[in-house]
């Protein structure tokens, strides 16, 4: 279907090759990550428990940053709320655009992986 779509619209061979390579790399991976939102049961977990869950998920990574660690030591309850209401896990595909020139930034990303390419 993809080939038919691109061919019918006269897409250049160079772009076609890039899209094909992206497709192969993206869909050949077997390490599919499961997120909290994928497990409906978590919608039923009491709020206080979910707050602790979110702190357990996000706080260890956040505390590796010196500024956050200092803030955390003085404002633990606020950091718990940040983890619960302002953070979520996302993953991006190789070559997927996070930032587009000329568009407004609406999110902040904190990477757990130090292998980033710009």
- For 2-54, write each residue's pLDDT tens digit: 888 998 889 999 999 999 888 887 776 655 778 899 999 999 999 999 999 99
Does pLDDT of 98 surpass 90? no
Q: Are residues 41 and 16 in the same domain?
A: no
For residues 20 and 40, membership in a common domain is answered with no
Q: If you average pLDDT over every residue of the chain, what do you get?
A: 86
The answer on 45 and 70 residing in a single domain is yes
Q: Are residues 7 and 51 in the same domain?
A: no
User: Residue 39 phi/psi, 5° resolution?
Assistant: -110, 100
4: tokens are 């038919």
In a domain, 2, yes or no: yes
Residue 51 lies in a domain: yes
* Helical H segments across the chain, by residue range: 2-8, 13-27, 47-62, 66-74, 76-85
Residues 79, 38 share a domain: yes
pLDDT bracket for residue 90 (50, 70, 90):
confident
- For residue 105, with 0-12 CB atoms within 10 Å meaning exposed, 13-18 middle and 19 or more buried, which class applies? exposed
What total of structural domains would you count in the chain?
A: 2
Same domain, 45 and 25: no
| Same domain as 80, residue 39 | yes
For residue 10, tell me if it sits in a domain. yes
Note if the pTM is more than 0.75. Answer: no
Domain residues for the domain of 61 are 34-89
Six-digit token pair at 107? 């999110």
| Residues 52, 62 within the same domain | yes
Report residue 52 as tokens: 């602790």
Buried b (16+ CB within 10 A) or exposed e, 52-82: bebbeebbeebeeeeebeebbeeeeeebbeb
Domain identity same for 25 and 45 = no
């Amino acid at each position: 279907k993809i080939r038919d779509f691109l061919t019918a619209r006269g897409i250049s061979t160079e772009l076609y090759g890039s899209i094909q390579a992206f497709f192969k790399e993206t869909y050949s991976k077997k390490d599919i990550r499961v997120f909290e939102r994928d497990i409906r049961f978590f919608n039923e977990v009491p709020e206080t428990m979910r707050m602790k869950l979110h702190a357990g998920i996000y706080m260890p990574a956040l505390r590796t940053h010196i500024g956050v660690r200092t803030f955390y030591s003085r404002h633990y309850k606020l950091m718990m709320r940040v983890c619960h209401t302002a953070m979520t896990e996302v993953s991006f595909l190789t070559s997927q655009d996070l930032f587009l020139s000329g568009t407004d930034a609406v999110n902040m990303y904190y990477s757990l992986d130090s292998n980033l390419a710009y």
